[in-house]
């Protein structure tokens, strides 16, 4: 949210909002890292080239971990106002430069007070689990469990975690980051084809939090732990290595919820107040 | 169906039936070819190794083309009776040697008059088509169409092809093969998520027939041809290069229908009578 120099950008900047899908298998996650292939890295390169600007910074609603997929990731980036073209054409040109495992589904011009990360009210993820023999058609999109799973017990135990809590037991601790989050949804459902679908929604997540939540609840479905253990684990606020983080391949970033445009600016202020520059708030 | 030599196999042979799934992307189809990676090739290698026999021949219900996937391919193979072990263990051991893009879902011991190919009453395929911007999560499993498609018109036109016809216009002609088939189902449905699902069932298919059928009907959905053209094209019995074969990535071999076990042998005789050693009858 830094201001552009008028000398460089006489016409000012325009903010573009986009929806992005990617197959996370061959990415080291969303966020830029030296010498790693990241979604942010390939997107910034493609957009900079198409828009003919030295470097565009692409912000996202969720910094997904290595191997995690996205169906409805939301991004924003700023380009000089005079470079704005028809949004369908812009998406088409950027997609032509993007590799086949990432694609812009939609672009729209938005207001400068929209921020993909800080305007978000919540993020929604879907985790898929299948049982039985390994299936080549599912291997990149769902985690396989070879154990019997009690889906009703997992759903019931998960409901205890809803609400405002310190989720430190499910987060990799980072300096200067809070681990307090509001979990809004944590539903386990068995679908007609036998696939278990987990829907997880929170105001924000810290690094590896969804996978840690799913992994902890799986231990209940397997009969290794019970619902009481889960509450004790949450309240212990300490990550323990024996609590398995469910594999990244089963996780997809599904969607982001935003307030109406008139509340974008107020939401950014509120998020920043709550997080106080918390670098882990995605 | 050749008889084993008693000198080599004193205990005789046992016939094993299996259900197999594969991601066709990195296979040159089902059938063995020199210097190509085929599903049959990798399966025969794994099964021979586990069963400690010089070479097992694996027969399938459908010889899928390069790039075509399978969810419920059916196979059979024969092993010496004294090598038969528990079927769950056998599948587990074979899967441990198979690459990650192919897997045996189930094995069972069957009678020697079951033949995965010749006992089959029909084969069912599913073809998936999505519209709009390319989507990395769908790219390996569905064909993308960037044109508006009239799904009702495609479904209606497809119904004209049901029944017994010479499908030469949709087949790559092979010496000694008939192109007469009975098409039992050719349904086009738009699913709630916008995906178009095509269900195709016939007694048997010749090489590239499903893709040619789907491609021809797509030209109707795109408004390039009408329903009358499709009937004329069928009746012309000549394959024409301008009729597009839909890409392999969207096609999945779904399932095979067999008669009850008491009719296996009669069905083999009937199939062979109809086909007269037709090498293209899958």
pLDDT of residue B89: 96
Cα(A146)–Cα(A218) distance, rounded to whole angstroms?
Answer: 12
Dist CA B34 CA B44 (whole Å): 14
**With a CB-CB cutoff of 8 Å, which residues 203-222 of chain B face chain A?**
none
With bands split at pLDDT 50, 70 and 90, how would you rate the model's confidence at A185? very high
Contacts B136 to A, Cβ<8 Å: 21-23, 100-103
**Cβ distance of B136 and A22 shorter than 8 Å:** yes
Minimum mean pLDDT range among A26-35, B169-178, B230-239: B169-178
The contacts of residue A18 (CB under 8 Å, 6+ apart) are A74, A75, A76, A77, A91, A104, A105, A106, A107, A108
| pLDDT value, residue B242 | 86
**Contact between A137 and B21 using a beta-carbon 8 Å cutoff:** yes
Burial of A10 (0-12, 13-18, 19+ CB in 10 A): exposed
* Cβ neighbours of B135 in A, within 8 Å: 21, 103, 105
> What is the percent of chain B where pLDDT is above 70?
94
Query: In this complex, is the C-beta atom of A198 within 8 Å of any C-beta atom belonging to chain B?
Result: no
pLDDT band at B172 (very low <50, low <70, confident <90, very high): confident
Q: How far is CA B108 from CA B15, B74, B85, B179, in A?
A: 9, 11, 11, 33
The set of residues, in sequence order, having a beta carbon less than 8 Å from that of A263 and lying 6+ positions away, is none
CA distance B72 to B112: 21
The string of DSSP codes covering chain B is -PPPPTTT-TT-EEEEEEEEEE-GGGSS-SS--TTS--HHHHHHHHHHHHHT-S-PPPEES--PPTT-EEEEEEEEEEEEGGG---HHHHHHHHHHHS-TTEEEEEEEEE-TT--TTTT-SEEEEEEEEEESS--TTTTTTSEEE-S---HHHHHHHHHTT-EEEE-GGGS---TT---EEEEEEEEEEE-TTS-EEEEEEES---TTHHHHHHHHHHHHHTTSS-HHHHHHHHHHT---TTSPPPPGGGEEEEEEE---GGGHHHHHHHHHHHHSS-TT--
pLDDT at residue number B45: 96
pLDDT at residue B276 greater than cutoff 90: no
Mean pLDDT across chain B, nearest whole number? 92
Chain A residue nearest residue B106, CA to CA: A133
Which one-letter DSSP state was computed for residue A113? T
Contact B23 A95 (CB under 8 A): no
- Pick the more confident residue, B148 or B175: B148
Q: Is residue A1's pLDDT more than 90?
A: no
CA distances from A228 to A161, A232, A234, B166 (A): 11, 6, 10, 67
Which has the minimum average pLDDT: A139-148, B157-166, B208-217, B261-270?
B261-270
**Which is more confidently placed, B60 or B178?**
B60
- Rounded to the nearest angstrom, the gap between the alpha carbon of residue B190 and the centroid of all alpha carbons in its chain is 23
**How far, in Å, CA of A151 to CA of A235, rounded?**
23
- Residue to test with chain A: of B23, B100, B136, B250, most A Cβ within 10 A: B136
Residue B175 has pLDDT above 80, yes or no: no
Question: Which residues, 6 or more positions from B35, have their beta carbon under 8 angstroms from its beta carbon?
Answer: none
Closest listed residue to residue B50, CA positions, set B88, B86, B14, B97:
B97
Q: Considering only A41-50, A174-183, B31-40, which range has the smallest mean pLDDT?
A: A174-183
- The whole-number pLDDT of residue A4 equals 43
Residue of A nearest to B71 (CA): A137
pLDDT confidence bin for A276, thresholds 50/70/90: low
Write out chain B residues lying below 8 Å of A21, CB-based. 135-137
Q: What is the DSSP letter of A40?
A: H
Token reading at B164: 């017994």
pLDDT band with cut points at 50, 70 and 90 for residue B9 = low
pLDDT digits (tens, 9 = 90+) for B75-131: 999 999 999 999 999 999 999 999 999 999 999 999 999 999 999 999 999 999 999
The domains of chain A, with CATH numbers, are: 13-119 (3.30.70.580), 122-254 (3.30.70.660)
C-beta of residue A209 within 8 angstroms of C-beta of residue A168: no
Nearest alpha carbon to residue B102 among B27, B185, B50, B191: B27
Chain A contact set for B252 (CB, 8 A): 137
Rounded Cα distance between B40 and B60, Å, is 8
**A140: distance to nearest CA of chain B, Å?**
10
Contact B103 A132 (CB under 8 A): no
pTM: 0.89
Window from A138-142, A171-175, B33-37, B149-153 with minimum mean pLDDT: A171-175
Give residue B37's pLDDT: 97
Query: Tell me, what's the pLDDT at B180?
Result: 94
CB-closest option in B69, B95, B136 to A134: B95
pLDDT at residue number A124:
98
Query: Is residue B192 exposed (0-12), middle (13-18) or buried (19+ Cβ within 10 Å)?
Result: exposed
**How many other CB atoms are found less than 10 A from the CB of residue B228?**
11
Answer whether residue B254 shows pLDDT above 90. yes
Total residues belonging to chain B: 282
Q: What pLDDT digit, counting tens, does each position of A69-85 carry?
A: 999 999 999 999 999 99
What percent of chain A is modeled with pLDDT above 90? 80
| Nearest in space to B282 (alpha carbons), one of B162, B125, B170, B123 | B123
Residues A95-129: tens digit of each pLDDT? 999 999 999 999 999 999 999 999 999 999 999 99
Q: Residue B58: left (phi > 0), alpha (psi -120 to 50), or beta?
A: beta
pLDDT band at A51 (very low <50, low <70, confident <90, very high): very high
pLDDT at B280 exceeding the cut of 60: no
What was the pLDDT predicted at B7?
Answer: 43
Q: Is the pLDDT of residue B236 over 60?
A: yes
pLDDT score of A46 more than 70: yes
Average of per-residue pLDDT across A38-62: 96
Residue at token pair 């990395």: B136
Give the residues across from A110 on adjacent strands. Answer: A15
Going by pLDDT thresholds of 50, 70 and 90, the confidence category of residue A275 is low
Residues B178-189 have a mean pLDDT of 96
Q: Residue B137: which of A23, A132, A133 has the nearest Cβ?
A: A23
Kindly provide the b/e burial profile for residues B137-165, where b requires at least 16 CB atoms within 10 angstroms of the residue's own CB: bbbbbbbbbeeebeeebbbebbeebeeeb
Q: Residues A118, A268: contact at Cβ < 8 Å?
A: yes
Q: Please report the pLDDT score of residue B281 as a whole number.
A: 54
Question: Is the CB of A195 inside 8 Å of chain B's CB atoms?
Answer: no
pLDDT of residue A40 exceeding 70, the answer is: yes
Q: Please, are residues B217 and B154 in contact by the beta-carbon 8 Å criterion?
A: yes
Q: Give catalytic status of residue A65 as yes or no.
A: yes
Residue A37's pLDDT band (boundaries 50, 70, 90)? Answer: very high
Where does the pLDDT of residue B1 fall: very low under 50, low under 70, confident under 90, or very high at 90 and above? very low
Average pLDDT over residues B145-165: 97
User: What number of residues does chain A have?
Assistant: 282
pLDDT tens, position by position, B87-100: 999 999 999 999 99
The CA R_g of chain B, rounded to the nearest whole Å, is 20
Question: Which pLDDT score is estimated for A278?
Answer: 54
| Residue A282 to residues A107, A122, A211, A259, B55, Cα–Cα distance (Å) | 21, 9, 14, 16, 55
What 3-state DSSP class applies to A137?
Answer: coil
Angle at B228 between CA B226 and CA B233, to 5 degrees: 100
Residue B4, pLDDT score: 44
On the question of pLDDT at A10 being above 70, the answer is no
Q: How far is CA B169 from CA A169, B202, B208, B252, in A?
A: 64, 16, 11, 22
């Amino acid at each position: 949210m830094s201001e552009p120099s008028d000398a460089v950008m006489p016409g000012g900047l325009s903010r573009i909002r986009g929806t992005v899908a990617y197959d996370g298998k061959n990415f080291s996650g969303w966020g830029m890292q030296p010498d790693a292939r990241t979604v942010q890295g390939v997107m910034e390169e493609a957009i900079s080239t198409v828009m003919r600007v030295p470097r565009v910074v692409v912000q996202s609603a969720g910094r997904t971990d290595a191997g995690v997929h996205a169906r409805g990731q939301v991004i924003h980036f700023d380009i000089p106002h005079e470079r704005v073209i028809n949004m369908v054409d812009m998406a088409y040109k950027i997609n032509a430069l993007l590799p086949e495992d990432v694609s812009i589904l939609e672009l729209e011009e938005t207001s400068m007070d929209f921020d993909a990360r800080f305007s978000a009210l919540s993020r929604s993820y879907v985790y898929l689990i299948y049982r039985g023999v390994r299936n080549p058609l599912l291997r990149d999109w769902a985690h396989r469990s070879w154990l019997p799973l009690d889906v009703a017990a997992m759903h019931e135990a998960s409901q205890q975690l809803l609400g405002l809590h310190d989720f430190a037991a499910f987060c990799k601790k980072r300096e200067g980051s809070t681990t307090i989050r509001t979990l809004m949804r944590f539903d386990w459902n068995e679908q007609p084809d036998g696939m278990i679908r987990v829907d997880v929604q929170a105001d924000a997540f810290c690094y590896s939090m969804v996978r840690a939540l799913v992994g902890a609840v799986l231990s209940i479905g397997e009969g290794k732990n019970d619902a009481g253990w889960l509450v004790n684990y949450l309240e212990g606020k300490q990550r323990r290595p024996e609590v398995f983080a469910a594999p990244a391949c089963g996780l997809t970033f599904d969607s982001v919820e935003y307030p109406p445009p008139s509340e974008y600016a107020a939401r950014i202020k509120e998020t920043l107040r709550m997080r106080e520059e918390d670098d882990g708030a995605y």
